[in-house]
Amino acid sequence: MKTFKKSMIAGVVAFSALFAAGSVSAAPKKFAGDLAYEHVQYLTEEIGPRVAGSANETKAREYIVNELEKLDLKVEEQEFSYTRGKNTTESANVVALKDNKHTDKQVIVGAHYDSVSMGKGADDNASSVGVILETAKALEKRNLNYDVKFVFFGAEEVGLQGSKYYANNMSDEEIENTIGMINLDSLLAGDHIYVYGGAGEDGWIRDLALDIADKKKIPLQTNPGINPEYPEGTTGDWSDHAPFKAKGITIAYFEATNWQLGDQDGYTQTEEHGGVWHTKNDTLEFLEREFPGRVQEHLNHFTNMLTWVLTDIKKEL
């Protein structure tokens, strides 16, 4: 028996040594952004371009609903139609509620899930869908001081149709109870990562994000204000934050681009390849070949930032 025990102990010691030395593989450690990457990969490689009103947009919506239903969230689809020229097209938003149950105050976190036909829409905008889905999972067991509505907008690429429909159907009471709207769009390709907000005190969510980034050593920036059309810290009304801003709701907007280039308006994303969004280059394959490590790094930063901001907003209430 003693001999057997000695053999067992020796075996455990040997196994531990092998494990420590790396001879026995440990389960790979998951980092913030890893799950977001899996979502981006599925949306772009399994589904592909997700043109507004197309079968692929519907497939993407079904995928998002399925992923949200795995979490402790109330999920519903908000159907809408829009007319362009003589054509009427059907689409829908996906709304998932993380219910505090003790307050009517809410934060809306949104991103569009459709894309243009060129490329596969990895940067614009599967990236943001992936980050929000991972963040929703990260916050699943956390108690926040307000409700969170994760909203995935359809038909953004044809005139912000989904976000306009959602904002225009908010009641006065809901608008009053909305602490802020955080929009994410095109997070992968740009040379730098940014957050924007409103002017003055309306930029408090942006300022909160920048303060967190400084403490966490995340290289988050804001628009430096080189172009007088877009004062420092702000941006244009060309993404899904715009309809909420028009309602008087405080907004913040995360993206990756490079405000030093081109017309210095944020549209030229990279020094090496110019704009990637709305081109054939908007694929994971291109981004990972031309910018090694950037996809994973940006997903890590944005997932962490969104999670931290949503957690720390309580300090501002």
CATH code of the domain covering residue 188: 3.40.630.10
Residue 23 pLDDT more than 90?
no
- Bridge partner list, 151: 95, 110
Q: Are residues 14 and 53 in the same domain?
A: no
For tokens 């593989």, what's the residue?
Answer: 25
Query: What is the band of 298 on the pLDDT scale with cuts at 50, 70, 90?
Result: very high
Q: Are residues 126 and 215 in the same domain?
A: yes
Residue 183 pLDDT more than 90?
yes
Residue 315 pLDDT more than 60?
no
Tokens found for residue 90: 């059907």
- Do 177 and 248 contact (CB within 8 A), yes or no? no
Q: Are residues 248 and 258 in the same domain?
A: yes
Chain-wide mean pLDDT for the chain?
A: 92
Query: What is the band of 200 on the pLDDT scale with cuts at 50, 70, 90?
Result: confident
pTM: 0.90
Q: Which stretch of 97-101, 168-172, 267-271, 288-292 has the lowest confidence by average pLDDT?
A: 97-101
Mean pLDDT of 164-186: 98
Mean pLDDT of 144-157: 97
Instruction: Note if the bond before 125 is cis, omega within 30 degrees.
Output: yes
Residue 10 pLDDT more than 70?
no
- What was the pLDDT predicted at 145? 92
Q: Are residues 11 and 115 in the same domain?
A: no
- Percent of the chain past pLDDT 70, that is, above it, reads 90
- What was the pLDDT predicted at 201? 87
The range of the structural domain enclosing residue 63 comes to: 31-316
Q: Are residues 15 and 164 in the same domain?
A: no
DSSP assigned state of 25:
P
Query: What is the band of 316 on the pLDDT scale with cuts at 50, 70, 90?
Result: low
Instruction: DSSP for 99-126, please give it.
Output: --SS-S-EEEEEEE----SSS--IIIII
Q: Using alpha carbons only, how large is the chain's radius of gyration in Å?
A: 22
Q: What does the buried/exposed string (b/e) look like for 160-172 if buried means 16 or more CB atoms within 10 Å of the residue's CB? A: bbbbbbbbeebee
Q: Are residues 133 and 261 in the same domain?
A: yes
Query: Helix or strand or coil: residue 142?
Result: coil
Residue 2 pLDDT more than 90?
no
Query: Helix or strand or coil: residue 281?
Result: coil
pLDDT in tens, 31-59: 899 999 999 999 999 999 999 999 999 99
For tokens 């998002």, what's the residue?
Answer: 64
- What was the pLDDT predicted at 3? 40
Euclidean distance between CA atoms 81 and 9, whole angstroms: 69
- What was the pLDDT predicted at 34? 98
Total number of domains constituting the chain = 2
Q: Are residues 10 and 41 in the same domain?
A: no
Q: Are residues 11 and 91 in the same domain?
A: no
Counting beta carbons within 10 angstroms of the beta carbon of residue 83, is it exposed (0 to 12), middle (13 to 18) or buried (19 or more)?
A: exposed
Mean pLDDT of 77-91: 96
- Rounded (to 5) percent helix, strand, coil in the chain: 40, 20, 40
Q: Are residues 135 and 241 in the same domain?
A: yes
Q: Tell me how many helices (H) and strands (E) the chain has.
A: 10, 8
- Do 117 and 75 contact (CB within 8 A), yes or no? no
Q: Are residues 127 and 3 in the same domain?
A: no
Q: Are residues 21 and 36 in the same domain?
A: no
Q: Are residues 286 and 166 in the same domain?
A: yes
pLDDT in tens, 108-126: 999 999 999 999 999 999 9
111 backbone dihedrals φ, ψ, rounded to 5°: -165, 150
Mean pLDDT of 168-197: 98
- Do 38 and 31 contact (CB within 8 A), yes or no? no
